[in-house]
Structure 1
């Protein structure tokens, strides 16, 4: 008996999904290897041949999947931002789905964003360095629209999670850009100095202090008042 059409469709869809997952994993591995090249040689001095040698992928394949070196660098930047965003949303989802009072959860949500920043930077120092210093490469390679869509999507999800706590009076109601300044600004400032070797104390060792500082700034019962 011939298989039912729906069974064939499901099988084809599953195969297609697996194929996309393999392609995604392959591209991600190429980007990680490219990042290693950029970290060792610097973006300016890295060549396509260096990336090819590191990844084991032909130059033709690199151009097919990504384009020129600037396009690869742009993809590395965007992938890093997506990797961080995924971690941040996972941390927030864990808090949002847990029990606790509104003020307690508001505090844990703000601190979770700090933890996500610190943990991602600690686990991916080369990626963090690259993201800190090479944003303009995204625009140069024509990736600005993709990055902007990603950022808008992330902040939309962030607003959906934090919004009720702002409206409920548990987190200070501020102009949107200030939230990033209070939450990630101090982390990124410390991280830049630490990654450059100017600060000896690892960023993980000041994780709680950075989280507490962010909460004190955004807690309606603490921090700086207008």
Structure 2
């Protein structure tokens, strides 16, 4: 990589880091172009050069945070062998990610209804697809063997991740939820929803 490319990569990373810090400190209302350029020390022109727009920067940050979360889930899942231990590992890994990386988790969950997502949906889907694909590929033999319910992939994904995502969203918003208790209680309940009877 040339020095110019290295500088460009570093600038892009600094912008993403600053954007995450601004969002965590000031919330969605304070997540603005001036705040991010001030926090990063990088010009508006450089932001537009690397991301095309502020929405492009936000979409790139969402992709980065989501990739970190999904990589955590895939790693936890692929360390297991049985469908029961796999489902439990995913649920626990999600909750631990939220507890250990609240800024990333908050950005993911705050972005769910953000205006920039539809415009960047194809790039976001392309970033998520290989990771979700690995999770579904791990689950597939257990579906074929009759241990996991045979449902369309999006429904399996919703049963596995949906409850944990909603609980996390509420916890991140300040609800009185005990994550440690959730980590103890939810894995078996989610496994029960996915287990073929």
* Range into which the TM-score falls when normalised by the shorter chain: 0.7 to 0.9
* 1:139 equivalent in alignment to 2:124: no
1:126 aligned residue: 103
Count, aligned residues: 196
Scaled by the length of structure 1, the TM-score of the pair is 0.75
1:48 aligned residue: 33
1:216 aligned residue: 192
Computed over aligned residues only, the root mean square deviation of the Cα atoms, in angstroms, reads: 2.5
- Structure 1 residues 111-190: aligned runs within 5 Å: 111-135=88-112, 136-139=114-117, 142-190=119-167
* SS in structure 2 at match of 1:53: helix
Judging by fraction of residues, say which structure has more helix.
Answer: 2
Q: Given that residues 22 and 30 in structure 2 are in contact (C-alpha distance below 8 angstroms), is that contact kept between their aligned partners in structure 1?
A: no
Unaligned stretches of 5+ residues in structure 1: 1-15, 97-104, 222-226
Q: Distance in 1 between matches of 2:6 and 2:143?
A: 38
Scaled by the length of structure 2, the TM-score of the pair is 0.85
1:92 aligned residue: 77
Please state how far the C-alpha of 1:44 moved relative to its aligned partner. 4.0
* 1:30 equivalent in alignment to 2:4: no
1:100 aligned residue: none
Unaligned stretches of 5+ residues in structure 2: none
Q: Deviations over 1:148-180 (max 9, x none)?
A: 112332232222111011101121212322222
Please state how far the C-alpha of 1:69 moved relative to its aligned partner. 1.9
Match for 2:59 among 74, 78, 97?
A: 74
